[in-house]
């Protein structure tokens, strides 16, 4: 699958296995979400543009580098919130904008309930953060919102994806790279990823 990057990093795979485990409690679950998000963001941002920066070390003058692009983090509420801190730690100057979507239990389609984006885009690159790419409805809806906002460069960063979600994302937004920790087998009748990890929001916030 072009434009889909499933991490093979041993740390990601080790932490993801602990994350999946039904015995992992919410506190540890949240820690693992943050850690995996940071590792995936590191991989997802490998192509960010940099510009030269003159500086002095204690020993000499040199030309270094600094990020040229302004980054926006866009967690999909509520499960995406747990990924923000891990990614923000790598890029503390990034802006965070929230998109609120919930999945209608009858239609399984996303319904937008929160969007406070300013009129004009203030960033050049957006990372959509959502632990689960299941049906793909929330991710594609968020990408629609960001493109209408005027953002030219968008990436999706998630923990686990189902083939169905990847297919929808690639059909509707073939220009958006998908960075994930694993591609699982399928969706069940309730649109949960199998084997997956259950409900990422409930497991983070102890509401399951």
Q: What is the dihedral angle through the alpha carbons of 163, 167, 173, 178, rounded to the nearest 10 degrees?
A: 20
Q: Is residue 103 flagged as an active site residue? A: yes
8 Å CB contact between 48 and 125: yes
What is the rounded distance in angstroms from the CA atom of residue 17 to the CA atom of residue 7? 13
Q: Is 107 a catalytic residue?
A: yes
- Of these residues, 57, 107, 148, 190, which one is catalytic? 107
From CA 142, how far away is CA 113, in angstroms rounded?
12
Q: What is the rounded CA–CA span in Å between residue 160 and residue 133?
A: 6
Catalytic option among 18, 103, 122, 144: 103
Please tell me which residue in 24, 78, 122, 199 is annotated as part of the active site. Answer: 199
Q: How far apart are CA 178 and CA 162, in angstroms?
A: 12
Q: Is the distance from CB of 191 to CB of 132 less than 8 angstroms?
A: no
Instruction: Label residue 136 left, alpha or beta by phi (over 0 means left) and psi (-120 to 50 means alpha).
Output: left
Question: Tokens representing 185?
Answer: 């087998």
Catalytic residues: 103, 107, 199, 202
């Amino acid at each position: 699958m072009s434009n889909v990057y499933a991490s093979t990093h041993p740390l990601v795979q080790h932490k993801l296995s602990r994350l999946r485990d039904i015995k992992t409690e919410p506190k540890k679950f949240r820690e693992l979400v943050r850690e995996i998000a940071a590792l995936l963001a590191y991989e997802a941002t490998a192509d960010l543009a940099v510009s030269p920066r003159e500086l002095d070390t204690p020993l000499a003058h040199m030309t270094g580098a600094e990020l040229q692009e302004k980054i926006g983090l866009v967690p999909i509420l509520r499960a995406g919130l747990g990924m923000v801190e891990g990614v923000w730690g790598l890029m503390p100057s990034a802006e965070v904008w929230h998109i609120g979507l919930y999945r209608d239990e009858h239609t399984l389609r996303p319904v937008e309930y929160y969007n406070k984006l300013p009129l004009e885009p203030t960033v050049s690159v957006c990372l959509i953060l959502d632990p689960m790419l299941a049906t793909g409805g929330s991710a594609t809806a968020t990408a629609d919102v960001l493109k209408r906002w005027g953002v030219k460069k968008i990436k999706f960063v998630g923990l686990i994806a189902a083939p169905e979600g990847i297919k929808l994302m690639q059909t509707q937004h073939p220009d958006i790279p998908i960075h994930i920790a694993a591609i699982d087998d399928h969706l069940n009748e309730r649109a949960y990823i199998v084997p997956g990890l259950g409900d990422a929001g409930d497991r983070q916030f102890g509401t399951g």
